[in-house]
């Protein structure tokens, strides 16, 4: 229940996803919630890692550290034709 609340699922959506006898392919609600929660946690971790990767930290001469976004410069080639 805690994971479902964290993801913003209400009781109606949980009841709606209980598999019936004709829906044997559906996972039980507890398994479904656990899988969805783990997937969201992985995606959040990747997003944070990507964000950290795109920023570099530069020390400020006046003290402290400044967060600077890396700029992506397109490759112009070697200039010869």
Return d(Cα 67, Cα 57) in angstroms, integer: 5
Where exactly are the structural domains of the chain? 2-69
Considering the entire predicted model, what is its pTM?
0.52
Residue 41 has phi, psi (to 5 degrees) of -65, -40
Q: Which tokens is 54 given?
A: 């795109």
Model pLDDT for residues 13-71, shown as the tens digit of each residue = 888 888 888 888 888 888 989 999 999 889 888 888 887 777 666 666 666 655 556 55
Return d(Cα 78, Cα 65) in angstroms, integer: 36
């Amino acid at each position: 229940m805690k994971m479902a609340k964290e993801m913003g699922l209400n009781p109606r959506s949980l009841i709606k996803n209980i598999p019936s006898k004709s829906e044997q392919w559906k996972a039980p609600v507890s398994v479904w919630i656990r899988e969805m929660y783990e997937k969201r946690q992985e995606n959040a971790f990747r997003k944070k890692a990507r964000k950290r990767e795109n920023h570099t930290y530069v020390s400020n001469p006046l003290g402290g550290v400044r967060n600077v976004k890396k700029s992506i410069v397109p490759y112009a080639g070697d200039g010869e034709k």
